[in-house]
């Protein structure tokens, strides 16, 4: 039995479709992240799961029970909001226990629950403060405490970290992940930040224009994106997507990028031979293009190339290089020791085993 099962969920505001048939099965203990650009429908979907908005069509099942007509409070869920939504006039303790109070849980049990949650989140010293007396990170913890105290079947997070500054965001990200590993809760987490999705999720649902583009574990989403949208949305900097032709030659299969003098032929693994003769979009992660002496984590043929450098962006840990590959712009991630300048010609090594091929018409992954 799945913790959450969505079948054919649609939502339209007037004549404008926002969700176009979402199907999803989420198992107990999974950390599912819904990620996508703003307006993709991810928050609407979360609200539909919570029961805060009705779906236009389809069914929502929580813990094996169809809950389409069940009020939010009776769905056995808890939610953490982007704005924290702490009740301003209540103390932290009252905020955390308000849900229990509404369910007529006896005072002694409420106190025990608050003690347990406060210890779990290390907010014991804050219990008698008002939300206005708390920092952003503390408010975030209290909001989590309010969700945890009821021990629900499903935790819903609506961009809970986007109001925090960068440093705190990284800390809280780790805390949420650790907490999940400790209590094995079933989480559905909405974010527009693909790094949050990659770091926390056990499975990622990438959404775009009201549809789930791909629903898979982070590794698959990153390395085998289902289509060009996912390829370009996940990863910073994004995947290089270069128009190419697949050819077979004496030496094996090759992807040819560009035409005429600047054309570059890149050898592909033999498995790609079936695509020979096709026009494709070649997808290659920036980290698959590196300085010449880099060793990738597998044997196989080394493809080295000399490419003109247009620009470099040192980030400290690595340097992003904008190069020309067969006349197309391509990003490479090189070691910060490599001192390249605009206008140089640099020597790079390519990891073609991780190449993806997409259909230029539909954008779907073909190999």
Partner 1 sequence: MPAWGRLLAHGIVWALGIAFLVPFAVVVLNSLRTAQEIAQSAMIGWPESWAFSNYAEAWSEFCVAQSCTGLRPFMWNSAAVTIPATVISTLLGAIAGYAISLWRFRGDTWIFGLVTLGIFLPQQVRLIPWTFVLRDIGLINTLTGLVVIHTIQGMSFTTLFCRNYYVSIPQDLMKAARIDGAGFFRTFFRIVLPLSPPILIVTVIWQFTHIWNEFLYGVTFTTGSQQPVTAALIGLNAAIADVPQYGVQSAAVVLAALPTLLVYLFGGKYFLRGLTAGAVK
Task: List residues binding partner 1 (CB under 8 A).
Answer: 47, 50, 52, 71-74, 77-79, 81-90, 98-99, 102-103, 146
Crossing angle of helices 92-102 and 136-148, in 10° steps, is: 20
Q: How far is the CB of 149 from partner 1 (least distance, A)?
A: 10
Q: How far is the CB of 202 from partner 1 (least distance, A)?
A: 24
Q: How far is the CB of 182 from partner 1 (least distance, A)?
A: 23
Nearer to partner 1, 127 or 216 (CB): 127
Nearer to partner 1, 100 or 204 (CB): 100
CA distance 49 to 43: 10
Give the closest residue to 242 by CA, choosing from 221, 261, 263.
263
CA distance 128 to 137: 17
For residue 83, the SS3 value is coil
CA distance 321 to 335: 10
Nearer to partner 1, 97 or 319 (CB): 97
Q: Tokens at residue 347, please? A: 């020597």
Nearer to partner 1, 76 or 223 (CB): 76
Nearer to partner 1, 79 or 290 (CB): 79
Q: How far is the CB of 172 from partner 1 (least distance, A)?
A: 18
Nearer to partner 1, 77 or 340 (CB): 77
Q: How far is the CB of 350 from partner 1 (least distance, A)?
A: 48
Q: How far is the CB of 160 from partner 1 (least distance, A)?
A: 11
Nearer to partner 1, 110 or 285 (CB): 110
CA distance 69 to 72: 9
Give the closest residue to 45 by CA, choosing from 99, 4, 76, 2.
4
Residues near 232 by beta carbon (within 8 Å), at least 6 away in sequence: 238, 239, 241
Are 289 and 348 in contact by the 8 Å Cβ rule? The answer is yes
Are 158 and 190 in contact by the 8 Å Cβ rule? The answer is yes
Beta-strand relationship, 345-350 and 303-314 = antiparallel
Going from the C-alpha of 50 to that of each of 17, 35, 144, 154, the distances in angstroms are: 20, 17, 16, 9
Nearer to partner 1, 50 or 268 (CB): 50
Q: How far is the CB of 81 from partner 1 (least distance, A)?
A: 4
Q: How far is the CB of 306 from partner 1 (least distance, A)?
A: 55
E strands of 14-102, at which residues? 16-26, 31-35, 57-62, 65-66, 77-80
Q: How far is the CB of 131 from partner 1 (least distance, A)?
A: 11
Nearer to partner 1, 113 or 221 (CB): 113
Going from the C-alpha of 250 to that of each of 108, 291, 305, the distances in angstroms are: 79, 28, 20
Residue 227 DSSP symbol: B
């Amino acid at each position: 039995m799945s913790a959450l099962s969505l079948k054919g969920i649609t939502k339209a505001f007037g004549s404008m479709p926002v969700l176009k048939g979402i199907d999803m099965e989420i198992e107990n203990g999974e950390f599912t992240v819904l990620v996508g650009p703003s307006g993709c429908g991810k928050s609407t979907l979360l609200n539909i799961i919570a029961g805060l908005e009705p779906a236009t069509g389809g069914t929502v099942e929580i813990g094996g029970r169809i809950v389409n007509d069940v009020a939010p409070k009776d769905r056995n869920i808890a939610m953490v909001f982007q704005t924290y939504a702490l009740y301003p006039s209540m103390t932290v303790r009252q905020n955390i226990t308000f849900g229990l109070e509404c369910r007529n849980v006896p005072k002694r049990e409420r106190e025990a629950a608050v003690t347990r949650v406060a210890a779990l989140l290390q907010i014991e010293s804050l219990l008698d403060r008002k939300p206005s007396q708390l920092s952003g990170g503390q408010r975030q913890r209290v909001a989590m405490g309010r969700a945890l105290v009821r021990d629900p079947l499903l935790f819903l997070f609506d961009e809970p970290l986007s109001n925090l500054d960068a440093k705190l965001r990284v800390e809280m990200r780790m805390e949420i992940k650790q907490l999940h590993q400790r209590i094995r809760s079933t989480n559905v987490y909405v974010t527009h930040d693909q790094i949050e999705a990659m770091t926390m999720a056990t499975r990622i649902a990438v959404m775009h224009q009201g549809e789930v583009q791909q629903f898979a574990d982070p590794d698959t989403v990153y390395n085998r994106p289902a289509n060009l949208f996912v390829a370009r949305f996940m990863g910073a900097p994004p995947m290089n997507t270069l128009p190419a032709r697949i050819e077979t030659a004496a030496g094996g299969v090759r992807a040819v990028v560009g035409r005429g003098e600047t054309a570059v032929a890149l050898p592909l693994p033999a498995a790609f031979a079936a695509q020979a003769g096709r026009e494709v979009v070649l997808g290659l992660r920036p980290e698959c293009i590196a300085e010449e002496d880099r060793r990738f984590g597998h044997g196989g043929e080394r493809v080295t190339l000399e490419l003109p450098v247009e620009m470099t962006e040192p980030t400290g840990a690595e340097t992003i290089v904008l190069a020309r590959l067969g006349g197309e712009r391509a990003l490479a991630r090189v070691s910060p020791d490599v001192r390249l300048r605009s206008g140089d010609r640099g020597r790079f090594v390519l990891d073609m085993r991780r190449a993806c091929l997409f259909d230029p018409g539909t954008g779907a992954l073909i190999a």
